[in-house]
Structure 1
């Protein structure tokens, strides 16, 4: 059985392997870096259980993935409640349980993440925008709340601002990836109620160039996502450096994705808008002077 310190070290190793996707682990205060690594290792591994190898021959079925995530959650709860953990990921659960104990991070946030991963395995369509937001509440918002908690910020107003930023960032990624998601596993996050409003059909998500109906529908998604970023951006003004800088980079990055969608005349079918190296430099500059 690994010690807690050994478990944290293994989580850190996993996080370090993915620095390109999770650079914050290099910038957070040293005192909380083990906790951040534990949260990342937990989420990264769960995401792999839900998504790795999707569509490849002999890959797990959607229900098999849900079953694996159920087992993962069972071991998480065992660790959080002080029971023995017998699982190949015991090192993750040991570190996460210690993180919850020392920081006050609630078990429910971790379980919310797992519920979203499970949902992604089996749910391909969303009837309403409220359904999409409920998914974001569990897939994105827990991450922002955990980041705040690990940094010692746990008041409801900061959580509310963070939720707006995290949900908006999740939505921006959805709009960015519409043609990729439907080709990969048939999933579409634009709600069916908006398909009906704008006359969008399933074929429009994977047949470039984007139709006028698709563009108008995408414009609607972008505008309401922009409004969410605007509502949440005040969070960074109420946080100390360097966390305030990280939050600004986060919402500015999301807005940059939306800007690129606008620049493409809302056609995310022909090409996936993405942030390049030059954009990252501009993001750093903006984050340094934006409040």
Structure 2
């Protein structure tokens, strides 16, 4: 990676590794930076991109890098005010990438410019993600299921829409199915991370669900599992599973290589929900981690699908 400037006031307060380099990197260097970031922060993402056609992998990696840096700028800043300023700056750098790409210096935007030139993804999807990251700093709890869906509209769904766009799918009907998959995956992660989120001062279980099933506000913090809490989690898991199932119809409309990746994501979400069910919906005793054996099995299944695609072409 290029040497970075410690006097980069545009991103002052950001992690050092995210500062803009003194010299503009070349495209290959910028794409390598994004690839390294994807590998270092989320190995499963890098594994998933292996199952995609080689020509689109750099685009997925540049999109991931944009999201990863933005997420860290919002989440790791020392205050909500600083987080907002950093995210606003990141948004301005995105606008520059679209409108005056020759001025882009950060490796993320040098790489992302190539994705924009080749695939022409809608700018608003990237801006929507920034709105979702801002919400993470200012909104700590959710009143209704609809509020959760609205949050996912910004924080999760743009990623799926960008993935479809990069792969050449522009139909709104397919994007809406992707929204269901992305929202379902986000909700599944919320349900398994109830305790961790509570320790960070966040509650994604809707207030309306707690009221409906008679769950008290302090039960999460106190880890008080009751039949009422079990019934609430059963309902939330069932609704999330139905959403993933409905969104899974997307598999019928994409090519076989993208279908392999989609299957991997859907089975990962199902594994989380099944893990919650296996521990009798008691997420208060800790996250129901997907076993290494199950994770390996999902990857083997995906690899087998990749090989079948190769043999058929």
Instruction: Specify if TM > 0.5.
Output: yes
Q: 1:46 to 1:197 in 2, by over 3 A?
A: same
Q: Could you tell me which residue of structure 2 aligns to residue 108 of structure 1?
A: 124
Q: Could you tell me which residue of structure 1 aligns to residue 17 of structure 2?
A: none
Q: 1:19 to 1:199 in 2, by over 3 A?
A: closer
Single out whichever of 15-24 and 59-68 deviates more from structure 2: 15-24
Alignment match of 1:73 (pick from 77, 82, 91): 91
Q: Could you tell me which residue of structure 2 aligns to residue 26 of structure 1?
A: 50
The within-5 A match list for 1:156-195 is 156-184=172-200, 186-195=201-210
Give deviations 1:73-131, integer Å, cap 9, x for gaps.
Answer: 111112111266476xx221222233122102111111111110110011101121111
The separation in 2 between residues aligned to 1:32 and 1:5, in whole angstroms, is: 15
The separation in 2 between residues aligned to 1:86 and 1:157, in whole angstroms, is: 34
Q: Could you tell me which residue of structure 2 aligns to residue 132 of structure 1?
A: 148
The separation in 1 between residues aligned to 2:171 and 2:223, in whole angstroms, is: 46
Deviation (angstroms), 1:160: 1.4
The within-5 A match list for 1:136-285 is 136-184=152-200, 186-284=201-299
Deviation (angstroms), 1:209: 4.5
Single out whichever of 16-25 and 155-164 deviates more from structure 2: 16-25
Conservation of the 8 A alpha-carbon contact between 1:19 and 1:25: no
Q: Could you tell me which residue of structure 1 aligns to residue 59 of structure 2?
A: 35
The separation in 1 between residues aligned to 2:257 and 2:221, in whole angstroms, is: 41
User: What is the RMSD of the two structures over their aligned residues, measured on CA atoms?
Assistant: 1.9
Deviation (angstroms), 1:140: 1.0
The within-5 A match list for 1:51-66 is 51-52=75-76, 60-66=78-84
Deviation (angstroms), 1:141: 0.9
Q: Could you tell me which residue of structure 1 aligns to residue 36 of structure 2?
A: 13
Conservation of the 8 A alpha-carbon contact between 1:209 and 1:267: no
The separation in 2 between residues aligned to 1:41 and 1:18, in whole angstroms, is: 10
Q: Could you tell me which residue of structure 1 aligns to residue 21 of structure 2?
A: none
The separation in 2 between residues aligned to 1:108 and 1:142, in whole angstroms, is: 9
Q: Which ranges of structure 2 fall in alignment gaps of 5 or more residues?
A: 1-23, 306-313
SS of the counterpart of 1:242? helix
SS of the counterpart of 1:124? coil
TM-score, normalised relative to structure 1? 0.90
Conservation of the 8 A alpha-carbon contact between 1:124 and 1:187: yes
Conservation of the 8 A alpha-carbon contact between 1:209 and 1:270: no
The separation in 1 between residues aligned to 2:26 and 2:187, in whole angstroms, is: 39
